[in-house]
Amino acid sequence: MLRFILRRLLQVIPVFLGTTLLVYYMVFALPGDPIAALFGDRQPPQAVIDTLRSQYHLDEPFWVQYGLFLKNLFTFNLGNDFTGQPIAASLARVFPVTAMLAIEALAIQAIFGVAFGVFAGLRRGGWFDSTVLVASLVVIAVPTFVLGFVFQLVFGVQLGWAKPTVGATANWGTLLLPAVVLGLVSFAYVLRLTRASVSENMNADYVRTATAKGLSRPRVVMGHILRNSLIPVVTYLGANLGALMGGAIVTEGIFNVPGVGNKLYQAVLRSEGPTIVSIVSVLVLVFVVANLLVDLLYAWLDPRIRYDQ
Amino acid sequence: MTSNNSHFVAPVDETPLLATDAVKTDHAPLSLWSDAWRKLRRRPLFIISALLILALVVVALFPGLFSSVPPNDACELGNSEGGPTAGHPFGFTFQGCDIYSRVIHGTQASLSVGILSVLCVLIIGVTFGAVAGYYGGWVDSVLARLGDIFFALPLVLGALVITQLPFFRENKSVWTVVFVISLLAWPQMARITRGAVIEVRNADFVTAAQALGVSKFRALLRHVLPNALAPIIVLATLELGVFIVAEATLSFLGIGLPQSIMSWGNDIAGAQASIRTHPQIMLYPAAALSITVLSFIMLGDAVRDALDPKSRQR
Amino acid sequence: MRFTRTSKALGIVAITALALTGCGAGGGSTDGSSNAAGDPNKVITAYSNEPQNPLLPANTNEVYGGRVVNLLFEGLRSYDANGKAVNALADSIESSDAQNWTIKVKQGQKFTNGEAITAKTFVDSWNFAANSKNLQNNGFFFESIAGYEDVSAVTTSKSADGKTTSTPAPKADTMSGLKATDDSTITVKLAQPEADWSLRLGYSAFYPLPAAALADPKTYGENPVGNGPYKFDKQGSWVHDQSITLVKNPDYNGTRAAKNGGVTFKFYTDPGPAYTDLQSDNLDVTDVLPSNALKTYVNDFPDRNATKAVATDSTLNIPGYNPNFQGEAGKLRRQALSYAINREEIAKVVFNGTRTPAKAFAPPVIDGFKEGIKGSEVLTFDAAKAKDLWAQANKIQPYDDSKPLQIASNTDGGNKEWIDAVANGFKNNLGIQAEIQPFAKFAEVLNLRKTQQLPGLTRAGWQGDYPSLYNFLGPVWATGASSNYEKYSNPEFDKLLKEGLAAKSTDEANAKFNQAQEILFQDLPGLPLWDQARAIVWSNNVVKAETGWNGEILYYGITAK
């Protein structure tokens, strides 16, 4: 088991190199001069642009730029973004905010998605199942930029239950509304995955055995059906944690959350390679760890699954 | 003659079981799929969803049959956000285009984006996921980490970069959108498939099949995958809708389909301009999208039921 | 560290704001007048975004840094709400020949760190800003002063792959035409006469800088010290990506004295959430409305909104390298396009009156603006004439319709709606295919404009740096000008501009500039579309807000209830 974990952690290295290389190359391939773009319609003297370009090594070939990035990374110096701010400081600002948001959203979708999914799966075709189906359809058919806007208007402005935007006051309370919006989209997935799994496992032999043994219905559901139904759900949630940490660009924009998504979007709009790659580097770690946890959970959920095949 | 009589078992030709035990040698054995098809044909859920999808396909292929108003060439700003009038049952968009006609003509692009993207994601994701989960070891490591690389790629960055590449910028079409979506969405499908396959690969019937001499690869195709389909179908049917909406988000960011190609996504993004004053404009394309997703979800449910004898509804 | 500390500080501000909400709601908006005196010590909150550069006036050339810098500093002149330049730190600005200027500087003025402001302060600051090795974005604002070439000189090297790189290589540290003859007198010699030169002295590039700024601009730019109506609350008042907090400068004695205790600029990456915050009184004032609120803001904020014309215009530029728009046929087609745009209707339906149809190549709020310039009739909507002209053009040279006519624009900032409408107008009135060519990034459009690669038309906009007619013509349409990306060039136009600049009086100059516009109307290198009005809304917590000539909110004049 320890060997398994170690091996997986070692695999971070190629993934990290692959991702950063890909992302760095993509930013490099974006047409246009990012420095000139900083200034919009009113261009500064050409010498200003050229000096900044060489300061950020933008006039170097791709491999030199990428090499410099790696070198800086290993000396724990992420450098400055195009506005002259240290990147490490801005990462330290945005990641805690997005982590709170992601955890809250994940909790919402996991708790409600699984609970609703189990009920819907146990009584397939019943009124609860149908209602939940329609509700999840609405969530899917309406894009986030509409859903977020409506929630903000209704709960933030008209009812006044929550602060409509987050801004500098990011905490568990102010992040609740965006977390609900964010959680709702994946809620539909979690719900339907759980429902499908539960209804499949309901008639499995071990459930009949458990029921025949005289176990109470709740114990059968919780201990046997649910546990055996969770593998696809856990897989999805694990993948989703990574996606949420990557920042929900639309949701963070609507609620003015100073998180990873907003930062990343601004950086992409400015073709700010160093910032983008630094964010992605952190994300790679999150992904690999989340995946590792999911794989470890597999074995716990289903003892037949073994590592080290 | 008596020695023969010590044999007291009834003569074979008297056995009534014979009829049921007989194998019709002139028929091929019912495969998993044909068995499923026989069950499907009789399910109302399947019939309804199939008819709905058929209707959508007809609308997508022949929009002219359902709307006589030219959808894109008669937008009069004077009609902006106008309500329903004779010949224009749903009213007008912000730009003064006929909503009904746009929804009808948008079916083709939206349906294509949804179905093609899901197909691509299924082909790539299920292949990679199944192979990774089933064989494990270094194959799993390589494929799973390859997925991680694409997973860590921020969607907007990927979409922005790809659509800004000169080739894609000059040739924006349904295919470029499908390409972008598939490229960034397949790891999710691969992950789910891998999980489901890992769950099934140690099941008794797989071990039994292999013990009976079924090759490893054949066991994956015939026994493991069909039993791992449930989460794959759920994901695929939901993703169909999500991808159609993703096209809206791409349009919202200015990197979706060009304006000349009508789609529900384009319309939903465009209705954003009226959301404070006339939110119903968004309702029509969103409703069309919901009906599409609903039909595919129902179809997915029916197919899954038919494939999995255990979860048949009683 | 910084994160936790500031979030606490901002939490307090937010709590105050919430407490205020209660008061505001109780007071109602109708009896605002009884409260008009307001509370001069309350801090107001305002919409903004992260400034792109350290806060040095000569380096700040975008709006979000600009609004902070304008509150932190006071220059020789300032612009009143109507765009009239009035003396601020200058006692007098005189010239007999429009080339040699004498500026008398007010005595006894100080920066908030106690440093005295003299004529030498200005001379040092300007030489710093113009010096190419200091890499100030606004350095070229000093280009008229004699000796600017030497101070701003660069060497240009060409690399093996043909790319040219300019490196700063100043030949002098001071501009020969700029001198402080004593503590209170600046003499300026321009390279050639310029009648409206003194108009630009209120622009931020001309603000005075303390010695610390010249010594270490980067550090200074994080915690600037100025002489304006406001100052930084404390070191670190600029919380990156979140806010900047300014407090009243008690020692300020100019015309822009603060009527509130301070201004906190809250950063938003999108105007939508700011609008929502205003609706729930979590923000006090915004000058950027989300495009889908243009029809609702008057109802959402009854008695709490204002709309005022500003010095910003929009054009649709037609690149000369497009074969469809070359020669005699091209000229007719450009006119046809202009006639095919229903500016009135788009201004009404899409912008709900926050734009007014253009009447010239400069907005009406600018001094010297003239309506009915010869050729300006192309700005009226006339479908029949458009069709006719288009047909005539096709007789001379057939139109290449293998690709739809594209209008390039970034899609953020609410441009898509009006471009769709213009494209539909082309389709309906000219019978051609037309559509938006959307870009997610403004940079992308700019790059393609610079490299002359856009296949179709492009949107362009110009916001005046300082209120002068020349500022709307020279930098945009003169041959080789900094923002003339489509590379329009007409020697006759250049000549008239030059004559206008050299004129002895502003009136004479404006007459020349308007004559120059006649040439633009003949050539139509771009189609004037509309002039902007700035719509602002404010919360129940403040009495009233106003905008200045360039659309910037006069933050210092806002009183909290």
Q: Is residue B2 predicted with pLDDT exceeding 70?
A: no
Question: Hey, which chains touch C, using 3+ CB pairs under 8 Å?
Answer: A, B
Chain A's closest residue to B285, CA to CA, is A141
B98: confidence class by pLDDT, cuts 50, 70, 90: confident
More confident residue, B135 or C163: B135
Between vectors from CA C383 to CA C377 and to CA C387, what angle results, nearest 5°?
105
Handedness of CA C105, C108, C112, C113 (dihedral sign): positive
Disruptive mutation site among A27, A50, A54, A172 for chain C (greatest number of C CBs within 10 Å):
A50
- If phi over 0 gives left and psi between -120 and 50 gives alpha, with beta otherwise, what is residue C162? left
Look at C242 and A165 and tell me if their CB atoms are within 8 Å.
no
Tokens of A246: 């990557």
At C437 the three-state DSSP class reads: strand
d(CA C430, CA C428): 6
Q: Which residue in chain B has the smallest CA separation from C455?
A: B170
Mutate to test the interface with C, among B73, B75, B77 (most CBs of C within 10 A): B77
Nearest beta carbon to residue B277 from set C296, C425, C439: C296
Q: Are C283 and C277 in contact (CB under 8 A)?
A: yes
Longest dimension (CA), chain B: 110
**Domain residue extents for chain A:** 94-301
Six-digit token string for C199: 């108009």
Identify the three-state secondary structure at position C218.
helix
Closest CA to C24 of C287, C274, C280, C262: C280
Put simply, whether B74 touches C (Cβ < 8 Å) is: yes
Query: Residue C146 burial (CB < 10 Å; 0-12/13-18/19+)?
Result: middle
Q: Comparing C-alpha atoms, which of B109, B79, B54, B41 is closest to residue B268?
A: B109
Contact criterion met (CB < 8 Å) for C136 and A270 = no
Name the burial class of residue B66, with classes exposed (0-12), middle (13-18) and buried (19+) by CB atoms within 10 angstroms of its CB. middle
Please judge whether A140 and B245 are an interchain contact, meaning their C-beta atoms are less than 8 angstroms apart: yes
SS (H, E, C) C281-298: CCCCEECCCCHHHCCCHH
**For chain B, first and last CA: distance in Å?**
58
Amino acid, res. C210: P
The token duo for B122 is: 């299924």
pLDDT given at position C34: 40
CB–CB contact A51 C168 (8 Å): yes
HEC readout, B145-190: HHHHHHHCCCHHHHHHHHHHCHHHHHCCCHHHHHHHHHHHHHHHHH
**CA A235 to CA A289: how far, in whole Å?**
13
User: Would you say residue B70 has pLDDT above 50?
Assistant: yes
Q: Taking 70 as the threshold, does the pLDDT of residue B1 lie above it?
A: no
What is the distance in angstroms between the Cα of A99 and the nearest Cα belonging to chain C? 15
Q: How large is the average pLDDT for residues B115-140?
A: 91
Closest CA of chain C from B219, distance in Å: 48
Identify from A142, A152, A184, A240 which residue to disrupt to test chain B contact, counting B C-beta atoms within 10 A and taking the largest count: A142
- Contact (CB, 8 A) for B288 and B265: no
| Distance in angstroms (rounded) separating the CA atoms of residues B149 and C75 | 54
Do A44 and C167 lie within an 8 Å CB cutoff?
no
| B residues 240..299 contacting C (CB < 8 A) | 253-255, 258-260, 270, 272-277
Asked if A309's CB is within 8 angstroms of B230's CB, the reply is no
pLDDT at C126: 94
Nearest CA in chain B to C436: B259
Chain A nearest CA to B180, separation (Å): 14
Confidence of residue B311 (pLDDT cuts 50, 70, 90): very low
Pick from A203-212, B267-276, C322-331 the range whose average pLDDT is largest: C322-331
CA dist., res. A130 & res. A123, Å (int) = 10
Going by pLDDT thresholds of 50, 70 and 90, the confidence category of residue A111 is very high
Q: Give Cα separations from B32 to A200, A228, B223 (angstroms).
A: 17, 24, 9
Taking an 8 Å cut-off on Cβ atoms, the answer to whether C427 and B73 are in contact is yes
pLDDT at residue number C46: 94
Contacts of C349 in chain B (CB under 8 A): 77-78, 80
**Cα torsion for C54, C58, C61, C62, to the nearest 10°?**
40
* CA–CA distance, C32 with C37 (Å, rounded to integer): 10
Q: Is B161 on the interface with C (CB under 8 A)?
A: no
Residue C48, both tokens: 């903004």
Give the model's pLDDT for residue A41. Answer: 63
Which of these, C476, C556, C532, C80, lies nearest to C313 by C-alpha position?
Answer: C532
Q: Does A169 sit within 8 Å of C11, measured CB to CB?
A: yes
Report H helices in A159-272. 176-201, 205-212, 217-219, 227-245, 249-254, 260-269
A-B contacts at Cβ under 8 angstroms: 181
Q: Just give the CATH number of A94-301.
A: 1.10.3720.10
Chains that touch A (3 or more CB pairs under 8 A): B, C
Q: Do C425 and B77 touch (CB under 8 A)?
A: yes
ipTM over 0.95: no
Identify whether the C-beta of residue B237 lies closer than 8 Å to the C-beta of residue B243. Answer: no
Q: Which residues contact A113 (CB under 8 A, 6 or more apart)?
A: A186, A187, A188, A189, A190, A191, A194, A233
| Distance of alpha carbon C528 from alpha carbon C64, whole angstroms | 26
Q: Which of B78, B253, B277 sits opposite C345 (nearest CB)?
A: B78
Look at A41 and C443 and tell me if their CB atoms are within 8 Å.
no
User: Among B103, B131, B143, B151, which would you mutate to test the A interface (most chain A Cβ atoms within 10 Å of its Cβ)?
Assistant: B151
- Chain A contacts in chain B segment 84-143 (CB below 8 A): 136-137, 141
CB contact under 8 A, A143 and B245: yes
Q: Output the six-digit token pair for B210.
A: 């292999």
Interface test with C, best of A94, A95, A256, A260 (most C CBs within 10 A): A256
Which helix or strand (DSSP H or E) is residue B122 part of?
helix B99-135
Would you call A291 and B188 a contact, using CB atoms and an 8 Å cutoff?
A: no
DSSP-derived secondary structure letter, B245? H
The mean pLDDT values, 10 residues at a time, for chain C of 561 residues are 30 31 33 53 91 88 88 91 86 89 92 92 93 86 90 82 80 92 92 84 92 91 93 89 92 90 91 89 90 86 89 89 88 93 90 88 88 90 92 89 86 81 90 84 77 87 82 89 86 92 84 93 92 90 87 90 83
Report the amino acid identity of residue A249: I
Among B245, B252, B310, beta carbon nearest to A203: B310
- What pLDDT shows up at residue B3? 45
DSSP state of C480: T
Q: Name the band, by pLDDT with cuts 50, 70 and 90, for residue A40.
A: low
Distance from CA of B201 to the nearest CA of C (A): 46
Residues of A in contact with B281 (CB under 8 A): none
Q: Is C484 exposed, middle or buried (0-12, 13-18, 19+ CB in 10 A)?
A: middle
- Chain B residues with beta carbon closer than 8 angstroms to that of A284: 148, 152
Distance, in angstroms, between B158 CA and closest chain A CA? 8
Rounded CA separation C401/C433 (Å): 8
B contacts of C345 (beta carbons < 8 Å): 77-78
Name the one residue in this structure whose structure tokens are 């038919």: B306
Comparing A169-183, A232-246, C498-512, which segment has the lowest mean pLDDT?
A: A232-246
